Structure 1
């Protein structure tokens, strides 16, 4: 918690004016417009997601959909509260924090087990975390561990020494973690799937087969194809008696939205996470819309000249038609800021309007008057109507103002995110969902050592501000992080477009334990079928 889940949104953009359509439907829906049928509680729960690849080794995960699936398969020291997403005890039944806030001692449940009945041990956490931060591997979320003493140095070492890292398995059920400084957010981030333990048999399998995977979550895999995954309750799970739904069927589909919605209307799908047609929903109150802690943005690569020069990046950003890119008739919440609104977090406005004169001055000072000698600018985007619209606006603006050429490169989902890490390009695009409701989930990914820093951005002052914020609290912490955000925005490194709502199809009268939340994470273990009440004036026959 993409997407942490600062997570990449594997289903693409969900920030279209569909929000307004959804609200119109909710306001105009005839109460009792209901075509879904009453069904038994003792059946499988069916959830539909956009077609994507699901990695069974969380060390290699990358997307928001994987984060949702992992709530069934894996569990860390803490889990998400289903309503608030605050951390709650999971594999760790309790923990203590030292007076100076730098030593955390976690006590593991004796009954915590993998799918095969093997106990979950403190050493499994330590070994999995060391595998996550292994400098020879390119793990997307390894930077999340930097708050732990010795981790950043370990990740950058040529010959890393595991004993230099502040992670200690004191015995089979006691894990002790030393931080390099006080970090009030640490327990909150532990619910992220990057911190789950892996069974020693599967830890170094890049992509375990379903029969090889050994999770420790509330469900286990019974079958898997590219289009679907079938799960059943894990009888060895420490809280198995409270996992109400016996079976899950997860569908990954690129079927037309009208067809997916029709199956939801007919009761064949219980939850549609994406790819629905809202206009065709029969039970319109099943459309659930809520604010999402997410931002769609473009970014300029900063690792090679001349784009490594912040003046060049800022100049390019100042040439763009922002009023058209952030068209409010298209975007629910157009925005020039990276961090979505959080109470008491200082507002940081990014570049919100073109300024041709300043752009030309900056380019001339950088040795590229009117863009002369600039290399070709390549926009690498996922194929889709909105990303294509914005990319063409950028291309036209730059080619009209500059003496350079601009090309468009497309990679379809779900391969786009991996392609960002491999291909040569100038501009990329991401929809990022925060992993917890804190500015850090949008900012720490840009530090020089971050494995999610696709822009290859590096600024010592930015790194220093993020480091300072880790040991701060309250308004002081927010002020420091806002200063870091300002660097990203004003140097033209990050070009925000909009914040997004979460849109789901789910009959909440028939299901308990599913709550709208700003991260759009819904732990499967808390779901249960509810007895549907008959509509007024109707008689239900057995």
Structure 2
């Protein structure tokens, strides 16, 4: 695999001789090789739901707004916008030079089409809830209104007006998510579910799709039609799906990758000792957790869910297995968001000995004991790190409760479908990465009608609080409503929070442009857009 970067072609005596005949200066393509975790499930902006796909979609598409390397909101295909005094109407001005890869202009109607498509139940978007703040969106996804009634309309080709159901202070942040990206209607209608293939793909971002070999690589090339193409330095970005973090590190050390998706936890000490200058650890707006299927026995039993959560020794996991600086999680929402007082599980301040004792008592009250053990199954997607965590937690549950634990791993796409079906799952590995910097990005997942609510948690009071928060204009009151909702969710023990993430990447010293703060950190959302990156060799 060719890993050369920005080398001048022609060196040595032959180059000198040729230069004497014809002074030619050629330069190799500037190519970035990025490890990218699992094979993306879809590159359809309104269908995609996984993190690996989101990295690619941020390169292929641009929404109304973009993000600076720091994560700050910047103009995207909208060069400007205004907000009404009541916060209910946003008016976006689409830039005149915004184009699709085929040279056609990007219009306000392209956004209207994409958003109506996203909330249309026929599309089956699991992320339609992100557009819920838009007027009539929830009624449309519920099948009560037609998609044409969505509160987004094209005043003309370059003016988009959006009416919200209530003030939404994080609305611009929502527009960085792929569900809000425009799509090219002629391609969607002509090619159906094949419209995202390289030969059919029409996109509007800094790069275009030129190759997709499943489980091998996805190649993007610079899009010369992009309005800001002059600022894009990379000629190509090649994404490599690699589920084995150990194999990914080997490829990185061999020079086949310039950037890894993550690193194997059991290699972190070696990395710190031998390659620490290439190891980048940053705070991350995410939580790693185990979910319980509440819709079926045995975890329809609240005491059992709490017992299994109590029996997880999070400190041991952080000390022995997850060792890059992750923090044990006793909340679902990542602590530290402005104006939000963290809400914690009721056992946060107990010692692990006290937790274990309470866990076994609840286990007995649920009808089990070491003489009458429960057999449970932990299901996780294929990944070295997930496997090591599952093995450790299985050992804890055996030691503390006497439970018999079986481990089942599945390829990522199959795993997601299994979770959604809620037929086979008992306990499943999961993680949630914030889509924008607000508690709502974590809590909206657990509304009873959320397409990503894989536990089956449903509480009318929770839904009521979330609905009230979505309409509350007073920021402090809104945060209190969200805190009350998280209290209900944590008390239900629908999930066992395990740790709050950090991002862990290996990055070659010659890769530049990613530093979000001048101190060697990636932004808290880990949104690293290739349009800012370049190779310096």
**TM-score (norm: length of structure 2):** 0.81
Counting matched residue pairs gives 487
Worse-matched range after superposition: 197-206 or 375-384: 375-384
- CA deviations on 1:481-516 (whole Å, 9 max, x unpaired) are 222112121111121011121111223555224431
Change (3 A) 1:394 1:459: farther
2:419 matches 1:420: yes
Candidates 44, 48, 54, aligned match of 1:67: 54
Between stretches 170-179 and 412-421, larger displacement belongs to 412-421
CA 1:324–1:87: 2 relative to 1, 3 Å: closer
In 1: Cα distance, 2:378 partner to 2:508 partner: 40
CA RMSD of superposed structures (Å) = 3.2
Deviation at 1:479, TM superposition (A): 2.6
Structure with the bigger percentage of helix: 2
**Partner residue of 2:284?**
292
Question: Match of 2:13?
Answer: none
The one of the two structures with greater contact order (alpha-carbon pairs below 8 A, sep at least 6) is 1
The answer for the alignment partner of 2:530 in structure 1 is 524
Residues 312-327 of structure 1: pairs in structure 2 closer than 5 A:
313-314=305-306, 316-318=308-310, 320-322=311-313, 326=317
In 2, Cα distance between equivalents of 1:361 and 1:297: 21
Determine the C-alpha separation between the residues in 1 that align with 2:453 and 2:119. 15
Q: Distance in 2 between matches of 1:167 and 1:374?
A: 56
**In the alignment, what sits opposite 1:198?**
183
Q: Unaligned stretches of 5+ in structure 1? A: 1-35, 533-542
Deviation string, structure 1 residues 199-256 (Cα, Å, up to 9, x no partner):
1133363343211111111111222212112221111111111112122222223577
- Contact residue 356 and residue 400 of structure 2 kept, 8 A: no
Distance 1:267 1:327 in 2: 30
Aligned equivalent of 2:327, options 327, 333, 337: 333
Tell me which residue corresponds to 1:485: 486
Q: What residue is the counterpart of 2:461 in the other structure?
A: 461
Which residue of structure 2 lines up, in the alignment, with residue 107 of structure 1?
Answer: 93
> Are 2:211 and 2:218, in contact at CA under 8 Å, matched by a contact in 1?
yes
Structure 1 residue 146: Cα displacement: 1.0
2:166 counterpart residue number: 181
Shift of 1:290: 1.1
* In 2, Cα distance between equivalents of 1:375 and 1:134: 43
Please state if 1:150 is matched with 2:156. no
Aligned to 2:378: 379
Q: TM-score, normalised by structure 1?
A: 0.81
C-alpha distance in 2 between matches for 1:165 and 1:374: 53
Say yes or no: does 1:411 pair with 2:410: yes
Answer yes or no: is 1:53 the counterpart of 2:47.
no
Deviation (angstroms), 1:437: 2.2
1:273 corresponds to: 261
Task: State the shift of 1:529 in Å.
Answer: 3.1
For residues 273-300 of structure 1, what are the alpha-carbon distances to aligned partners after superposition, in whole Å with 9 as ceiling and x for unaligned?
2356653696531211111111110112
Kept after mapping to 2: 8 A contact 1:325/1:393: no
User: What residue is the counterpart of 2:230 in the other structure?
Assistant: 241
Counterpart in 2 of 1:538?
Answer: none
State the secondary structure of the residue aligned to 2:101.
coil
For 2:137 and 2:6, how far apart are their aligned partners in 1? 52
C-alpha offsets along residues 20-75 of structure 1, whole Å, 9 cap, x if unaligned? Answer: xxxxxxxxxxxxxxxx9984685222222234235221222121111111121011
Structure 1 residues 481, 46: CA separation in 2 closer, same or farther (over 3 Å shift)? Answer: same
Could you tell me which runs of 5 or more consecutive residues in structure 2 were left unpaired when the two chains were aligned.
Answer: 9-26, 517-521
